[in-house]
Chains A and B, each alone.
Chain A
């Protein structure tokens, strides 16, 4: 069933469009040579251009343009060979020039498409309206002094991509799936690290509600939401508020709102009447940005495999299920890890281990792929030890736990703990004989037709052998002796 807000007058459809601000991965800023790195001491990554000094002029950073074009290509979007920068004029203490250089009328990237998978297995296509480049402002620090505001200009001029979606999103789930997919594409491309906590990705959420079949009603913009979870909560809260306003005979007014994650509500920031008049006009310090087709082609040719393509390949090449493939490609690091484990091994077993025990261990220990104590090479080696019968599946689980704890390679652990599988038929025969002798009653029951007891004998034998018995040999021996 489609998502809807149940009001007193029946169901309301939710209409959402997202504006995502993604910080471009780049050595230097959009219009100056200063470092764009995060987390430096305040005001240490600031050139005279970033500080808006008299006579300073912007020069476009070619690497940032390439990142925007690569992102556009990754979003299956139209690349505009001629785009232009505009000035967005407003005063703020952390905006040194008194204007933000952005792209208003002629963005570098036009319409594109993002496909998202939903929990019911369906796929939805969400339109991208445009992507443009713009510079970030600095940061005002209001908590450093009782009466003064401090300004940190490290972020001033840092390159951002604003990626605007069509109002195609109809539920918090779709919004979440869109953001996750977008983040995944950006990370695959290496154009944005997608870290919402550090602010390198943030979203403005446009929400309206309507009855089925109606044209769009007035929307509100919830500004600067900094996690996917909060975006989903903000949509729910804002949609519910709007339904209440409409149903109580009121009218939703176009305005900018803020989401308060502690109280789970949105509150008004400024109304349309108070909106800034940004007085956009073409930036006279920059020429129009003109891209050559062969440059675009070269960027396109060098694009990495993106999530959708990788997912299709995982299904065809490794025979994975749609679900496993989707889980494995969501993060490039996971996909790479899986492929390293699967290489030259049974891919389905590799997928089971990665999505099963391995993910569980990461969750439990709070680690990521990058910080994981178990490397892909070691997990692969563990699979090899099973494949060549050095250990059995049950022992493998124990070895894996030891790998999580110590980071050691599995052969070493097996050696140290003496976990090598016993394939010596004499030892297995002796163990089986002992179990049969100790359980004469069960043997009689089994022989009189209670087949299910076979598992009991296997378990007892394995237990007696400290788990190290080769399961196939134990089965074979038991079958022979019990028949």
Chain B
């Protein structure tokens, strides 16, 4: 099956002319045609554009002009602005919006020859951990519980559509964005590798903003090597994003082969939280053992402010979001609801255009920035954020990388955890720290829970040291030998 190939395998096959880029793209489009009505992973399928890009890829291959992603079908989270292709952020308010520009990250992928098969579903404005807050309906996780085949599971969020698409073999890789875990948690839920690089590694230009200081574009793939190939293309120094890092992009693929011999790997004791399921804890122990067996030195470390991470995140992120989303006012683009005067037009537009979770976060964010509350919430959160950053800095004096579970549970079913937003926020428990600190982190599939659902381990590294993170991730991948497949997938 062409759809079962990894990106690395497809590159080889295309070069060897075992198949064409058009065939590769058609195989994925067929999968989308069959499965997307059920999974709802794509909000927009760009079949025609994909066919043209594939044709161009074949022409380039014929001329010997082969770039890193020539002919590789990818899915793009519908938070990345794509020129001439509707970009919704899964929100009604942007439902008619067609950007006249291409985000830097997607432009980089196109430069490297990628084929875009479509725009993927997400939690509205990337706010959520289940993809349930999309204005265009939830996404089904391609994985099923062994004991409960009827339960429809969530793919995680916010990049749920991207995760479901790559997991179900509807694309060979995908872009995501990770603000508090929005790549790593769905990667863990869908048995994928997800990479949140260092803050500044991938440009945010052209990505619909949720929380500017926390938003990190990054890739999804089915192998560590594939994710390394994708990140190398996506990453760049972008003068249009003032927070983009002026650093050269290393060869991440090569770093995957380094091994972990001699590396010092930290196990942060504060991540051992009360009520953690035994199988998560066991998997974590297993991961530690794999690295020890491969020659790494395991070090017990402390990140003392971990317990404040979630609270800090849920102040900083909504604060920035409340301001970032002010531009959706119905005046210049997107959907407008008329009103008797300007204020009424704003109220009508934003009430009709934003879903409940987005409205909740705008209100939280507005509140924590308000006069009289700013010092107690926003300012204090910024101070705690500095302490969390210091925790990581100090830990990285002692170790080269950290290993933790990615999530406190495997994928849950649609409808579960929906009554209490705080329960939903707990999904981000292990992931928000890396966003607050801006350090690189991956989730690597490491095993299955008792229901046969994938579980991921998280590798966290030093700022801009994605190479070590890839090396450790590749070792986990090698040791885990994760071969399980989702029940719902192209060609199954």
* Pairwise interchain contact B370-A277, C-beta atoms closer than 8 A: yes
Residues of B within 8 A of A55 (CB): 80-81, 99, 101, 103, 204-209
A469–B290 Cα gap in the complex (Å)?
Answer: 114
* Pairwise interchain contact B241-A57, C-beta atoms closer than 8 A: yes
B63: interface (CB < 8 Å) = no
B224: interface (CB < 8 Å) = no
B363: interface (CB < 8 Å) = no
Interface set, chain B 352-387, CB cutoff 8 A to A: 366, 369-371, 374, 378
A392–B323 Cα gap in the complex (Å)?
Answer: 74
Given contacts A48-B100, A54-B81, A277-B371, contact A96 B94 (CB under 8 A): no
Residue interface bits B117-131, CB-to-A below 8 A is 1, else 0: 000000000000000
A60–B241 Cα gap in the complex (Å)?
Answer: 10
Q: How many residues of A contact B (CB 8 A)?
A: 30
Which of A54, A57, A87, A281 has the most B CB atoms < 10 Å from its CB? A54
Residues of B within 8 A of A53 (CB): 99, 101, 327, 332-333
The smallest C-beta distance from B133 to any residue of chain A, in angstroms, reads 18
A284: interface (CB < 8 Å) = yes
Residues of A within 8 A of B103 (CB): 55
B239: interface (CB < 8 Å) = yes
Q: How many residues of B contact A (CB 8 A)?
A: 44
B140: interface (CB < 8 Å) = no
The smallest C-beta distance from A194 to any residue of chain B, in angstroms, reads 31
* Pairwise interchain contact A57-B319, C-beta atoms closer than 8 A: no
* Pairwise interchain contact B320-A96, C-beta atoms closer than 8 A: no
B243: interface (CB < 8 Å) = yes
Residue interface bits B239-275, CB-to-A below 8 A is 1, else 0: 1111100000000000000000000000000000000
* Pairwise interchain contact B346-A89, C-beta atoms closer than 8 A: no
Given contacts A55-B209, A96-B327, A98-B326, contact A285 B243 (CB under 8 A): yes
* Pairwise interchain contact B242-A60, C-beta atoms closer than 8 A: yes
The smallest C-beta distance from B416 to any residue of chain A, in angstroms, reads 32
A286: interface (CB < 8 Å) = yes
A216: interface (CB < 8 Å) = no
* Pairwise interchain contact B100-A98, C-beta atoms closer than 8 A: no
* Pairwise interchain contact A54-B89, C-beta atoms closer than 8 A: yes
Given contacts A51-B332, A98-B327, contact A279 B242 (CB under 8 A): no
The smallest C-beta distance from A410 to any residue of chain B, in angstroms, reads 56
Residues of B within 8 A of A52 (CB): 327, 332
A59: interface (CB < 8 Å) = yes
Residues of B within 8 A of A51 (CB): 332
User: Which residue of B is nearest A140, CB measured?
Assistant: B342
Interface residues of chain B: helix, strand, loop or mixed (majority) = loop
* Pairwise interchain contact B327-A279, C-beta atoms closer than 8 A: no
* Pairwise interchain contact B323-A281, C-beta atoms closer than 8 A: yes
Interface set, chain A 41-60, CB cutoff 8 A to B: 48, 51-60
Which of B332, B342, B343 has the most A CB atoms < 10 Å from its CB? B332
Residues of B within 8 A of A92 (CB): 342
Residues of A within 8 A of B282 (CB): none
* Pairwise interchain contact B240-A89, C-beta atoms closer than 8 A: no
The smallest C-beta distance from A30 to any residue of chain B, in angstroms, reads 13
A58–B323 Cα gap in the complex (Å)?
Answer: 14
A60–B242 Cα gap in the complex (Å)?
Answer: 8
Given contacts A97-B326, A281-B378, contact A54 B97 (CB under 8 A): yes
B227: interface (CB < 8 Å) = no
Residue interface bits A227-260, CB-to-B below 8 A is 1, else 0: 0000000000000000000000000000000000
Which of A57, A99, A277 is within 8 Å of B323, CB to CB? A99
Which of A93, A97, A284 is within 8 Å of B213, CB to CB? A284
The smallest C-beta distance from B24 to any residue of chain A, in angstroms, reads 29
Residues of B within 8 A of A151 (CB): 331
Which of B208, B320, B343 is within 8 Å of A284, CB to CB? B320
Which of B99, B322, B327 is within 8 Å of A97, CB to CB? B327
A281–B314 Cα gap in the complex (Å)?
Answer: 16
* Pairwise interchain contact A54-B242, C-beta atoms closer than 8 A: no
A97–B326 Cα gap in the complex (Å)?
Answer: 6
* Pairwise interchain contact B326-A99, C-beta atoms closer than 8 A: yes
* Pairwise interchain contact A57-B326, C-beta atoms closer than 8 A: no
A420–B322 Cα gap in the complex (Å)?
Answer: 80
The smallest C-beta distance from B322 to any residue of chain A, in angstroms, reads 8
Show 30 residue pairs from A and B whose CB-CB distance is below 8 angstroms, ordered by the A residue: A53-B99, A54-B89, A54-B94, A54-B97, A54-B327, A57-B242, A59-B239, A59-B240, A59-B241, A59-B242, A89-B322, A91-B329, A91-B343, A91-B346, A93-B329, A93-B331, A93-B342, A97-B326, A98-B323, A98-B326, A98-B327, A99-B326, A279-B322, A279-B371, A280-B369, A281-B378, A284-B320, A285-B242, A286-B243, A287-B242
Residues of B near any A CB (own CB < 8 A): 80-81, 87, 89, 94, 97, 99-101, 103, 204-209, 211-213, 239-243, 319-320, 322-323, 325-327, 329, 331-333, 342-343, 346, 366, 369-371, 374, 378
Q: Enumerate the 5 nearest inter-chain pairs by beta-carbon distance, A residue then B residue, closest first.
A: A98-B326, A284-B212, A279-B369, A284-B213, A52-B327
